């Protein structure tokens, strides 16, 4: 197999960054290089290939058909080169490389900042990258090589697809109500108690929304979602202003005099997972998975 030189590897990184950012300026910022250098290297690669990889305009950048065909091979080549470096380091007892991690905004089973800090202290040569987003996108990103692993939250009937995964927590969502709401006097609620309320929830079709939609559908109840938000913090701010109620994991609701939570006995069940590449995880990813699973197992034993 022909060895790819460092310039070619950098060109592949630039192409992947442009394809994902759809913008040369953002791609250059992501790669910590001036835009002119990035553009020059991509143009040189296109000349060598004899075809354009991108269609450029003043407002947007799109992959050409040749670029669409080139992109997955570029990702595979870059991943192989990165694995060669990390495998050599692993043979000497070192864990190094990069680790791209996706984190949904409602993780409660794991203290993600603490886990990242502990892992970084133990393996300082691993370059940690983290981004927030949704479970469906994260599973696609793992399958397509854009993420090494992710923390997911799915409804109780759904399991991660096309990725390796471990359950790290599960529980029913609670109703979050404004402190002045008449239902806060109840010790527990049912979905029937809530179906006439105005709801605040995640965007339609998202995994965070699906768990509640399915629960109400199974109960044969309709509900009105008047406000959609992408983060639990914004949802809670709307609840505190008396604009509606929401269903969330109890662990994401802070101590706040304007908010009260009530258990919902037939409420949505939500399961949290850690997911990673099931085919060929990097040494850093395997080490991180072991680190998280051992810490969650220790936490469970301390609570028992």
First to last CA, the chain: 54
Q: Please report which confidence band the pLDDT of residue 1 belongs to, taking 50, 70 and 90 as the band edges.
A: very low
Residue 247: pLDDT band with limits 50, 70, 90: very high
Residue owning tokens 């609620």: 189
pLDDT tens-place string over residues 191-203: 999 999 999 999 9
pLDDT at position 297: 60
Number of C-beta neighbours around residue 250 at 10 A: 13
Report CA torsion sign: 19, 141, 73, 126. positive
214 pLDDT tier (thresholds 50, 70, 90): very high
Pairing of strands 126-132, 164-172: unpaired
Mean per-residue pLDDT for 179-184? 93
What is the distance between the alpha carbons of residues 138 and 206, in angstroms, rounded to a whole number?
12
Torsion angles phi and psi, residue 106, rounded to 5 = -120, 30
pTM for this model (two decimals): 0.70
**Domains identified in the chain and CATH numbers:** 1-93 (1.10.10.10), 95-155+275-304 (3.40.190.10), 174-267 (3.40.190.10)
Q: What is the pLDDT of residue 301?
A: 47
pLDDT at 92 over 80: no
8-state DSSP, 5: P
Note the pLDDT of residue 298.
54
Nearest to 201 by CA among 174, 221, 228: 228
Q: Are the CB atoms for 278 and 204 separated by under 8 Å? A: no
Which percentage of the chain shows pLDDT scores above 90? 58
Contacts of 94 (CB under 8 A, 6+ apart): 125
Mean model confidence pLDDT for the chain: 88
pLDDT of residue 90: 60
In the DSSP assignment, the letter for residue 235 is: H
- Predicted local confidence at residue 146, as pLDDT: 85
């Amino acid at each position: 197999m022909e060895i790819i030189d460092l310039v070619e590897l950098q060109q592949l990184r630039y192409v992947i960054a442009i394809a994902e950012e759809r913008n040369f300026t953002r791609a250059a910022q992501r790669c910590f290089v001036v835009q002119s250098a990035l553009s020059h290297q991509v143009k040189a690669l296109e000349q060598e290939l004899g075809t354009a990889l991108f269609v450029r305009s003043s407002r947007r950048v799109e992959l050409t058909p040749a670029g669409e065909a080139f992109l997955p091979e570029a990702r595979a080549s870059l991943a192989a080169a990165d694995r060669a470096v990390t495998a050599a380091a692993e043979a000497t007892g070192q864990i190094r490389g990069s680790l791209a991690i996706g984190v949904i905004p409602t993780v409660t089973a794991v203290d993600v900042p603490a886990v990242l800090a502990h892992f970084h202290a133990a393996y300082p040569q691993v370059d940690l990258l983290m981004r927030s987003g949704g479970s469906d996108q994260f599973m696609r990103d793992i399958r397509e090589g854009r993420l090494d692993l992710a923390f997911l939250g799915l409804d109780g009937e759904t399991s991660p697809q096309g990725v390796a995964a471990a359950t790290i927590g599960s529980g029913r969502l609670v109703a979050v109500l404004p402190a002045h709401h008449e239902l806060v006097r109840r010790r527990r609620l049912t979905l029937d108690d809530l179906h006439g309320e105005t709801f605040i929830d995640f965007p339609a079709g998202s995994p965070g929304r699906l768990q509640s939609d399915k629960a109400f559908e199974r109960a044969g109840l309709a509900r009105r979602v008047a406000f959609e938000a992408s983060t639990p913090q914004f949802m809670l701010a709307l609840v505190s202003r008396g604009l509606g109620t929401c269903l969330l994991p109890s662990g994401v609701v802070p101590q706040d005099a304007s908010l009260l939570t009530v258990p919902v006995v037939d409420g949505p069940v939500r399961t949290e997972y850690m997911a990673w590449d099931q085919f060929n995880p990097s040494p850093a990813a395997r080490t991180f998975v072991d680190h998280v699973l051992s810490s969650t197992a220790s936490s469970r034993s301390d609570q028992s």
